[in-house]
C-alpha cells in the first residue's frame, strides 16, 4: 500500500522597499533620551507601529549598553527593525540585523497609513505632490516623503501630516504638521485656520505652548529662517 505523498510547496520570496524612520542616537545617551522624551511628549504616537532604523555611527557602546539602549526604546514603544554602521560585535542573533545600502528619501511613491481617499495624481505629479480631499481624523497619518502635501479639509487634534516638501492645509489645523523631512530647508507650512499642536520644518519645531495666542484661529505661513521657525499671519 503506497502512502499518499503531497507535492512539495514552493516557497515564495520577494524583495520590497519600505519607508523607515532613522534615529541617530548620540552620547551621552541620557541627554539624547531627554530630547527624545520631549519630542514624544508632544507627539506620543509618532514612532508607534512604524519601522525604525538605528544609525550607530556616532556611538561607541558595549554589548550591555547596546541592549539597554534597545530596551529603553522599546519602553517608549519604539521597536528597531535594523541598524546601520554597527560594530560586528553588536550584530548577534536575537538583535536587530545590520542593514546596508539604505539611502535618504528623495523621491518615493506616496505612503499613507489609514489615510482617507486621495486624489489620483498624474504621472508628472506622482513624485511631487499629494492632494487629499478629506478631513484627517485623530489617529490618522498622511506620510508623503516625495514632495508637497495639500489637505482640502480639517486636520484634527491627534492627526498628523508628514511631507518631504511643503504642506498646505485648506481648513482648520489642530494636529501636527512636519514638513521638509527630505532635507529641504525651503519647505513651508500654510494653513487657513491654526490651532496646531506642533509645527516642524527640517527638525526645527514649535509646539502649541510656543505659538503666540494672537495667531490662534488665523491663516498662517511657517518657514525656516536659519535655525529658527518663523510664523507669519496671512490675514
Residue 229 and residue 181 share a domain: yes
The total number of structural domains that make up the chain:
2
Residue 175 and residue 127 share a domain: yes
Query: What is the span of the domain harbouring residue 126?
Result: 111-233
Question: End of a domain among 90, 123, 142?
Answer: 90
60 lies in some domain: yes
Residue 221 and residue 143 share a domain: yes
Question: End of a domain among 43, 61, 90?
Answer: 90
Q: What is the pLDDT of residue 62?
A: 92
CB 169 within 8 A of CB 191: yes
Residue 132 and residue 223 share a domain: yes
26 lies in some domain: yes
> What does the pLDDT average to over 201-214?
84
Quick check: bond before 95 cis, omega within 30?
A: no
Residue 116 and residue 80 share a domain: no
Residue 175 and residue 79 share a domain: no
CATH number (domain holding residue 115): 2.160.20.70
Average pLDDT of the chain to the nearest whole number:
81
183 lies in some domain: yes
Residue 30 and residue 130 share a domain: no
16 lies in some domain: no
Residue 196 and residue 135 share a domain: yes
3 lies in some domain: no
Residue 83 and residue 119 share a domain: no
Residue 133 and residue 54 share a domain: no
Q: Which three cell numbers stand for residue 182?
A: 527630505
98 lies in some domain: no
Question: End of a domain among 90, 119, 145?
Answer: 90
pTM for this structure? 0.59
Residue 80 and residue 185 share a domain: no
Instruction: Tell me the backbone φ, ψ of residue 34, rounded to 5 degrees.
Output: -60, -45
Residue 216 and residue 128 share a domain: yes
9 lies in some domain: no
Q: Which residues of 72-84 are buried (b: 16+ CB within 10 A; e: fewer)?
A: ebeeeebebebbb
pLDDT in tens, 45-94: 677 777 889 999 889 999 999 999 999 999 988 889 999 998 888 888 88
pLDDT in tens, 150-204: 999 999 988 889 998 999 999 999 998 999 887 778 899 999 999 998 898 887 8
Amino acid at each position: 500500500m503506497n502512502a499518499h505523498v503531497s507535492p512539495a510547496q514552493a516557497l515564495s520570496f520577494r524583495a520590497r522597499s519600505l519607508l523607515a524612520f532613522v534615529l541617530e542616537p548620540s552620547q551621552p545617551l541620557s541627554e539624547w533620551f531627554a530630547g527624545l522624551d520631549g519630542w514624544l511628549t508632544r507627539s506620543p504616537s509618532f514612532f508607534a507601529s512604524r519601522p525604525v532604523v538605528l544609525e550607530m555611527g556616532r556611538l561607541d557602546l558595549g554589548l550591555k549598553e547596546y541592549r539597554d539602549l534597545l530596551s529603553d526604546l522599546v519602553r517608549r514603544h519604539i521597536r528597531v527593525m535594523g541598524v546601520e554602521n554597527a560594530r560586528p560585535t553588536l550584530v548577534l542573533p536575537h538583535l536587530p540585523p545590520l542593514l546596508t545600502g539604505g539611502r535618504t528619501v528623495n523621491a518615493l511613491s506616496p505612503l499613507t497609513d489609514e489615510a482617507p481617499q486621495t486624489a489620483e495624481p498624474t504621472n508628472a505629479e506622482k513624485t511631487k505632490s499629494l492632494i487629499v480631499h478629506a478631513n484627517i481624523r485623530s489617529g490618522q497619518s498622511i506620510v508623503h516623503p516625495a514632495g508637497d502635501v495639500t489637505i482640502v479639509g480639517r486636520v484634527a487634534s491627534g492627526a498628523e501630516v508628514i511631507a518631504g516638501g511643503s504642506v498646505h492645509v485648506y481648513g482648520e489645523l489642530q494636529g501636527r504638521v512636519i514638513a521638509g523631512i527630505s532635507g529641504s530647508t525651503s519647505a513651508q507650512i500654510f494653513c487657513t485656520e491654526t490651532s496646531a499642536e506642533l509645527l516642524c520644518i527640517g527638525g526645527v519645531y514649535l509646539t502649541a505652548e510656543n505659538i503666540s495666542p494672537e495667531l490662534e484661529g488665523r491663516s498662517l505661513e511657517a518657514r525656516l529662517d536659519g535655525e529658527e521657525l518663523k510664523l507669519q499671519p496671512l490675514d
